[in-house]
Amino acid sequence: MKLRVIFTLFFLNYMYYNCYIVKVVLNVKKRKNKRRKLKPFIRNVITILIIVIVIFCFAKFIKNDESNIMKKMISNVNNYLTNKNEKLKEYEACLSEEYSEKDLTDNLKNKIDETNSFFSKYSVSIGYEEPVSKFTYKYNENNKYYAASTIKMLDALYIYEKASKGEINLDETMTYQAKYLAGASLKMGKKSYGDKVKLRDLVNYAVIYSDNIAHIMLLDYIGKSTLRDYGKSLGAKYTLNTDNFGEIVVDDALIYLEALNKYLNTNDDNAKELKSFFIKSEQNYLNFPDKNVDAVQKYGEFPGYYHENGIVYVDKPYLVSILTNYNNNEKIIRTLNSKVLELHDTYNQERINRCSKLLV
């Protein structure tokens, strides 16, 4: 731009000496064999006038030219940001896609094989699910176990779902009677027959303290057949198929956890309260205290059986069911869950690696 202006000034200055128009303005007349020279003062004045005229004439041109350049720059920036935004949307959509064969990379295959080999050293069944993409992993999924207190998760979910729909009042009370007497009742065992207990408190006792009297009272309130049908409506096969606790397989456990996760994610006041009960539950071996990772969890314990089903709240939460033929053993549960977390992290990293290519 500057070079064009300088060239124009030079050209006009040259015309000052040679152009007929300039000579007319100066009243310069041709004389035979004689040429009058302009005085320096007049020449300088004319030069200044020419410069002013040139600046005036080119000002609008320069302004328009710069405006066009700015518009083009802004357009380029907008196009760049739009393109980046579209790529980011594609990336986020990719992260949320349902699991497919393209996710089964060699690295993930190797991790699955390694995980299978690790679990083969234990008498266990394992179920895992990443709830967004529905990627699942199962080990010994066909083995049936006595459900024990894991069924109390379904008691609690049924009561609180109904409460959120306005069909149940959590402050409604039940009367503690002798027919409800059962062992392993840390809270209700301190009550007297005839005491009134709120449904909210019964769920609290059943979830946090695994109180058996509370479970029997809730089961009586709901109706055993009603709770069994509720489990079947979710897709479970073995809900209360024997006694007041029933049997369980990892598929059923994951179905209960999917329903619980969906309800807790509604995040209404009732859901928040129920979530706090599960996080505070005794014998919570699915959390990672050293990593400040909480877990919603319900254990089941009976001679020769110990299980933990829950939702682990790492950056991307996952569902896990660990069913064992051991007695209560915190070390085993934490070891098994740590291996599940490794698989979870590997899967998510492989998904990120694949989706990140969309950002290039």
Q: Average pLDDT in the 181-193 region? A: 94
Three-class secondary structure of residue 249 per DSSP: coil
Q: Are residues 204 and 331 in the same domain?
A: yes
Q: Do residue 9 and residue 119 come from a single domain?
A: no
Record the tokens describing residue 306, joined without a space: 């110990």
Position with higher pLDDT, 91 vs 328 = 328
Q: If pLDDT is split at 50, 70 and 90, which confidence band does 135 have?
A: very high
pLDDT for the residue numbered 49? 73
- Give the residue from 94, 121, 142 where a domain finishes: 94
Task: Check residues 88 and 222 and name the one with the higher pLDDT.
Answer: 222
15 neighbors 26 (Cβ within 8 angstroms): no
Cβ(153)–Cβ(304) below 8 Å? no
What are the structure tokens assigned to 167, written together?
Answer: 């069909």
- pLDDT for residue 39: 58
pLDDT at 142 over 80: yes
Q: Which pLDDT score is estimated for 232?
A: 97
Residue by residue, what is the 3-state secondary structure of 262-301? HHHCCCCHHHHHHHHHHHCCCCCCCCEHHHCECEEEEEEE
- 131: its two tokens: 């709830």
- pLDDT class of 226 with cuts at 50, 70, 90: very high
Residue 43, phi then psi, degrees to nearest 5: -60, -40
298: phi then psi, degrees, rounded to nearest 5? -135, 125
| One-character DSSP codes across 132-199 | TTTEEEEESTT--EE-GGGGHHHHHHHHHHHHHTTSS-TT-EEE--GGG--SS-TTGGGS-TT-EEEH
Q: Determine which of 68-72, 195-199, 337-341, 350-354 has the lowest per-residue pLDDT on average.
A: 68-72
Domain-ending residue, one of 40, 69, 94: 94
Please give the residue range of the domain that contains residue 158.
Answer: 104-359
Helix (H) or strand (E) holding 308: strand 305-312
- Return the pLDDT at 64: 58
Q: Are residues 12 and 83 in the same domain?
A: yes
Point out the least confidently predicted range of 8-22, 161-175, 266-280, 285-299.
8-22
Per-residue CA distances from 118 to 172, 330, 339 (Å): 48, 18, 8
Smallest Cα–Cα separation from 266: which of 130, 154, 160?
A: 160
CA separation for the pair 320, 311 (Å, rounded): 6
Indicate if 169 and 288 belong to the same structural domain. yes
Q: Mind listing the pLDDT tens digit for each residue in 157-174?
A: 999 999 999 999 999 999
Looking at the fold, whether 72 and 158 belong to one and the same domain comes out as no
Residue 343: CB atoms within 10 A of its CB come to 21
Q: Give which of 244, 66, 94, 286 is closest to 154, Cα–Cα.
A: 244
Please choose, from the candidates 312, 292, 309, 291, the residue with its C-alpha nearest in 3D space to the C-alpha of residue 300.
Answer: 309
pLDDT tens for residues 66-122?
567 666 667 676 666 677 688 888 888 999 899 999 999 999 999 999 999 999 999
DSSP state string for 98-127: PP-GGG--HHHHHHHHHHHHHHTTSSEEEE
- Which two three-digit tokens encode residue 218? 């809730």
State how many domains the chain has: 2
Q: What is the pLDDT of residue 33?
A: 43
Whether residue 61 is found in the same domain as residue 112: no
Q: Are residues 222 and 162 in the same domain?
A: yes
| Mean pLDDT over the full length of the chain | 87
Per-residue confidence (pLDDT) for residue 20, from 0 to 100: 40
The percentage of residues in the chain with a pLDDT greater than 90, rounded to a whole number, is: 72
pLDDT tens digits along 28-46: 344 444 444 445 666 666 7
pLDDT, position 19: 45
Domain identity same for 63 and 121 = no
Residue 148's pLDDT is 97
Please check whether residues 234 and 309 belong to one and the same domain.
yes
Write the CATH number for 173. Answer: 3.40.710.10
Same domain as 128, residue 64: no
